[in-house]
Structure 1
């Protein structure tokens, strides 16, 4: 590692390149200037912001073939290829058109090199910062779910959302922050994504096996959360200030971002804070213990030179997240709170929560405390006619769950996860149109319990590494791509004992010779390995129509809870039991898609089929007479199972921009996935109750109409009005064995929004205003993937409603001040 870092730091001084300058102007279809548009060179950190007349200048640009990325508020992002000679000053006239149209966008996630969405055989979707700002979100995953068909989330309250892609989640979906894999105990139901949503400029989602580039844990796809790079005028401090308020849970959010660049040096800094109390709905009123307090710091420093670029990132995420348990008074349905431990805790006689506590912003004694530290570097450099990309990172996740009412300072769960990550890729020079990339990536992990009383998983060590080869070959209108990868993972842990701790009065980690010590996790060592492969093609049948297909084999090693669990996860209120004999999962997925693009219409249809060998899922543990096993009172017991599974479905979208009404944009999308258990013996014995997989989202559709006023001279620009309808069908295909899941009624949610941008007299953006009302009609509903739906202590209730409902009407206002 030290040698690699030394090589990284010294190599730039040994390399030299030739440069030129790009200048020009950006106009729209009516030949009017597009003020303050952004111009960036794809695959580098170079960028600039145009002035009020649409003019820009980019000095010190490496000579050669370049791809420019253009973007501006109210316009569709566009790409333009150009060639810059050594010492040349090239003047360009660039064009932007009204939004939305995304099929020509360039992506970097899940592909070896920057690729147009329509030319990628694997379905890839994107969401830009502008679309994120339009909505009222409690976290960045919720923002992505609203805008990307096929992406859903399992939620535990408003600030814990775990991404699912086409019915698969947890360690099957790899979350990245700017290319660095996010490692933060993501196996847990109540463990969210430790990333500042205000910092994200763009979201890219790979829908399908991405194991080829990223290895295990990307078998269902990838969610890459990308921050922006400085793009303002050289030598000037720029940035933005943001503030927002949401009425449903009183959320108050503030963020300040700063950036600066000059002579190839770039730096940025952001600090964000969000505070929320308990959320509200029409059935439950204020839902006890769903508030949170979140603080983020992000810093970046880097250089962009003719030899390439290198950027260093340092982030801190600090979140105090309350833990709901759903206990109530049986008659009034008022929420109650725990005041005693274990056997002394009488759920039916807990005291009611006062209204003052429900409306307070103070964090309750029973809560999670999560701190996540991250440092990493991304370097890109030219080596001859090829290109080397290198990522090195280290991160630590410190998770504490305080679940003892009689000892609120004593954490029940206390885990420190430290992860070291590397990713190195070399893009060989193109040869007769053939593009080849080779690389390797992996990680080393150490997970350790600290001063805890609950131990759901063992202390473990993990080593993971993989190598890959990717090939892409254009053949006229046909483009072929594919690759091969080999992965290996070594998992080990030593004997782990627990015993009563006289100091705390609870159980604690102990040595083997401690009095009354019990061996909770016997020593374990095993190596997992697998081969991933992919072969796909895209065909530009006409200027409007693109066809694509892909066949992929994915690989995933079992995660630690699946093989090693033996204890209570206090935040989830579940005792998990693992299986040390589990085999890796292997999936065979086929994707077929059709994309249509023209100035007034975009349409897409994607069909997929995924067969998973050795699929791992959770099931309630029953005794010999079929009754649920209770190991810890007040908590359910689940044991991991393994069987074959099949998932298949369809996704479609349609965007219309009527030529006769250029100010109007209509968009709609739908996604359907069906997941079935292929264990014939289990289905034969249990019938339909065991036929379907758990946590499969229902049919979901979304439609939106947006009117954007034409640009005119004056102080207002980009003024829009929008109405949306987000609907979910009834979910009758659910995992009903042992009453693990129940049917979920369908619902439709109406949303209304409006916004505008105020300009200064000089034409520069001064203030952006976003107003949004979600669930306008205050519909009482439960999402099928809402875990709080199952937080119920009684078989029946006076009002006929069980579990906790999703948030009701929410009015939000967001103000962004760029400078």
Structure 2
């Protein structure tokens, strides 16, 4: 019955899209040298506002599909030529093919600013792989939410959730130490090994978010087994006018208020020098499941960032500093007093005690503060290439507070454990000039870490770690074919001080290995591209996997480490096919990863009873495993104002040693979305858009027998709607956006929710967002 209902929903939405189908425009033309009249193969032809772009073919020819806009600004770029912009009014022209004829680009001497075209070429090449980029309007529509919530609906991405306030991305079935998160060019280091240790990134300080799915160990290093998330904060704007934006958000479910202020300006007396400051806050109380409040799930967050940029001649330097400070409540019903009560709580299925809504944050709770400094310099050597230098400094302090009162009636004021992790890093890379059809990058990197416990509470030991690496990547491109290959060597030395009774033992260990990758992109026909990648990547066991021994209060479980763990290695292959024509965009990626020594947490048969209560017990194990699946999306511009989207993610994990499924694999999911946009408007209201979507998550049936305290929850279907517009108030353009998530207030539990044993996930949430530009509009914000 349920399967028939899901099938009916899918067929109904496809019928809607089919019934509204109308064609768009296909731009045809030829790019050539204005003086020699020779074609320019490889020129970039793009409509930046719509995120569309193609390369000119061997004879300079191009074909670019445009839907959803009555007018566009077409850009044409080529290294060594002046960029050309062509405004096109499409509303006055009949839909279908539109011939633009021959378009000449003016040759210019090679200058430092021209190297941006190389970056554009790389972006478009990356888009042919399993990469998704979010910026501008896509970010604004989700601004003020965690990084995990921002990415949760992308193909191949789900989230690992610990209560309503903590979420981290899961890419193709893996997360934490198998995913690298890069913020302002610096690899984030903040006790990311914990399931409930979400990335410490200001949700308002994101100008661009890029998600690379699949192994990327050659360029990004040990740990990039499952993928990379790159967050780029906005850079200072070298403009004599003070510019910025005010963003205000309101959330109904947890009564959250959040906001941000950003200001930026160039310094007139110092040409090329600009500054920027930003501050943001978030405050929320208890989240609500459809039938009750989820007590002690509020949070408070205060963030600040700022920096300078300086550009002169061939050099550019950007300094960025940020401070992140959050306090998070942990659902009070997840900490149980004894084994019997734990079993009863799981059987009961909802909290035994439900208190009224509150903004109070009581133990169990977390406090996380993260300081980050990034100094990035780029210099263009005309005879050599681009030299990139990146220095990073981070300090992460994590405190977790227990609800256990001991012999006092008051909750404890001291943290159960208090960790301070300090990391220094340095990266140096040279992107050399093309040699014939070959272009590439070579680089080295190093880091130093120190972790210190600030209390007697023990979960992981104090340690020091040193890392070093070198890599080399080359690309060869000719005609419709691009080949690439790379190799990297990493070394890591760890000095840990392990507690054994009342004494400490000093354990030294070192890890080293090679990573490698090779791949291709091939344009097999008009609008069709085939891409493939073969990679081997690795990671050393993290400190918690080796030496954990205690209650991890954030996830409400007892974790047991294994000092005998070895390196984990992934050998993966993925194939991607993409199609783009006048109305459709399609991308399907198949992936297969074989893991030698896959490290995972396995639920023990019996909980562990401690002085603080009874907790589910989990131990770290290692086995050979396979994770494979499919992710993809299909966009259909049914007519200029209507877009129909389909996204799907399928992941299957198997433990090869036991011939059983892996635990904690994300459920298969499907998303159907309808977007309506009307760019033309009246004198007051502009750029109206609306949409609705259906998220279908199937029950996870592939789980090992007797390996969990409760069976996986049933699948669920959620409906979301959204509305937005730009409203002119006086001469100020306000961006307004309204989301209603889980419209029907459906009760559900996600398999990857760590609190699914005790409570439902949050219910309906109405979200209102408003952005007010400062200085006559913000460069880089919406509709600029």
TM superposition score category, shorter chain reference: 0.7 to 0.9
Aligned to 2:256: 251
Aligned to 2:640: 662
* Contact persistence 2:462–2:498 (CA under 8 A): no
CA distance in 2, matches of 1:758, 1:292: 32
* Contact persistence 1:241–1:818 (CA under 8 A): yes
* Cα distance change of structure 1 residues 486 and 411 upon mapping to structure 2, 3 Å threshold: same
Q: Matched residue of 2:700: which SS? A: coil
Aligned to 1:141: 148
For residue 748 of structure 1, the aligned residue among 717, 731, 748 is: 717
- Alignment of 1:395 with 2:394, yes or no, is yes
* Contact persistence 1:565–1:578 (CA under 8 A): yes
Aligned to 1:207: 213
- Alignment of 1:598 with 2:578, yes or no, is no
CA distance in 1, matches of 2:725, 2:396: 39
* Contact persistence 1:665–1:705 (CA under 8 A): yes
Q: Which moved more, 1:483-492 or 1:736-745?
A: 736-745
For residue 302 of structure 1, the aligned residue among 298, 309, 315 is: 309
CA distance in 1, matches of 2:705, 2:134: 35
Q: Matched residue of 1:304: which SS? A: strand
- Alignment of 1:264 with 2:276, yes or no, is no
RMSD: 3.1
Aligned to 1:440: 444
Aligned to 1:35: none
* Contact persistence 1:537–1:549 (CA under 8 A): yes
* Cα distance change of structure 1 residues 305 and 713 upon mapping to structure 2, 3 Å threshold: farther
* Contact persistence 2:330–2:363 (CA under 8 A): no
Aligned to 1:218: 224
- Residues 595-652 of structure 1 show CA distances to partners (whole Å, capped at 9, x for unaligned) of 0112321111111101000000111335xxxx45545631122210000000110112
Aligned to 1:378: 376
* Contact persistence 1:129–1:200 (CA under 8 A): no
Aligned to 1:568: 551
* Contact persistence 1:251–1:277 (CA under 8 A): yes
CA distance in 2, matches of 1:29, 1:601: 12
- Alignment of 1:461 with 2:464, yes or no, is yes
* Contact persistence 1:455–1:569 (CA under 8 A): no
CA distance in 1, matches of 2:565, 2:193: 16
Q: Matched residue of 1:197: which SS? A: coil
Give the structure, 1 or 2, with the largest relative contact order (CA under 8 Å, sep 6 or more): 2
* Contact persistence 1:208–1:221 (CA under 8 A): yes
- Alignment of 1:781 with 2:748, yes or no, is yes
CA distance in 2, matches of 1:411, 1:563: 23
Aligned to 1:311: 318
Q: Is there any run of 5+ residues in structure 2 with no aligned partner, and where?
A: 1-23, 28-47, 50-65, 92-114, 346-350, 775-784
CA distance in 1, matches of 2:742, 2:143: 11
- Alignment of 1:81 with 2:77, yes or no, is yes
* Contact persistence 2:632–2:648 (CA under 8 A): yes
Pairwise CA distance, 1:179: 2.0
CA distance in 1, matches of 2:197, 2:428: 29
Matches within 5 A, 1:57-72: none
Matches within 5 A, 1:94-105: none
CA distance in 1, matches of 2:171, 2:549: 28
* Cα distance change of structure 1 residues 812 and 713 upon mapping to structure 2, 3 Å threshold: closer
Say how many residue pairs are matched.
673
Matches within 5 A, 1:407-806: 407-450=411-454, 452-496=455-499, 518-519=502-503, 522-622=505-605, 627-630=606-609, 633-658=613-638, 661-679=639-657, 682-683=658-659, 691-712=660-681, 714-739=683-708, 742-759=711-728, 766-790=733-757, 803-806=758-761
Aligned to 1:153: 159
Aligned to 1:93: 86
- Residues 46-87 of structure 1 show CA distances to partners (whole Å, capped at 9, x for unaligned) of xxx99xxxxxxxxxxxxxxxxxxxx9x9799976414568xx
Aligned to 1:185: 191
- Residues 417-469 of structure 1 show CA distances to partners (whole Å, capped at 9, x for unaligned) of 0011111110112100211211012321100100x242111101111111100
Q: Matched residue of 2:149: which SS? A: helix
- Residues 152-205 of structure 1 show CA distances to partners (whole Å, capped at 9, x for unaligned) of 110112221121110011100011112211111111122111111111122111
- TM-score, normalization by structure 1: 0.77
CA distance in 1, matches of 2:293, 2:144: 19
CA distance in 1, matches of 2:592, 2:78: 39
- Residues 79-132 of structure 1 show CA distances to partners (whole Å, capped at 9, x for unaligned) of 6414568xxx9774366999xxxxxxxxx9xx9996134556741111223113
* Contact persistence 2:74–2:85 (CA under 8 A): no
Q: Matched residue of 2:756: which SS? A: helix
* Contact persistence 1:736–1:742 (CA under 8 A): no
CA distance in 2, matches of 1:389, 1:744: 48
CA distance in 1, matches of 2:261, 2:730: 24
Q: Which moved more, 1:552-561 or 1:710-719?
A: 710-719
CA distance in 1, matches of 2:360, 2:546: 38
* Contact persistence 2:249–2:770 (CA under 8 A): yes
- Residues 370-391 of structure 1 show CA distances to partners (whole Å, capped at 9, x for unaligned) of 1111111111111243111111
Q: Is there any run of 5+ residues in structure 1 with no aligned partner, and where?
A: 1-27, 32-48, 51-70, 99-107, 328-336, 498-516, 684-690, 791-802
Q: Matched residue of 1:411: which SS? A: coil
* Contact persistence 2:148–2:169 (CA under 8 A): yes
- Residues 234-273 of structure 1 show CA distances to partners (whole Å, capped at 9, x for unaligned) of 2000110011111010010111111112532222111000
Pairwise CA distance, 1:301: 0.6
* Cα distance change of structure 1 residues 352 and 695 upon mapping to structure 2, 3 Å threshold: closer
Q: Matched residue of 2:465: which SS? A: strand
* Contact persistence 1:466–1:487 (CA under 8 A): yes
- TM-score, normalization by structure 2: 0.81
* Cα distance change of structure 1 residues 733 and 346 upon mapping to structure 2, 3 Å threshold: closer
* Cα distance change of structure 1 residues 700 and 76 upon mapping to structure 2, 3 Å threshold: farther
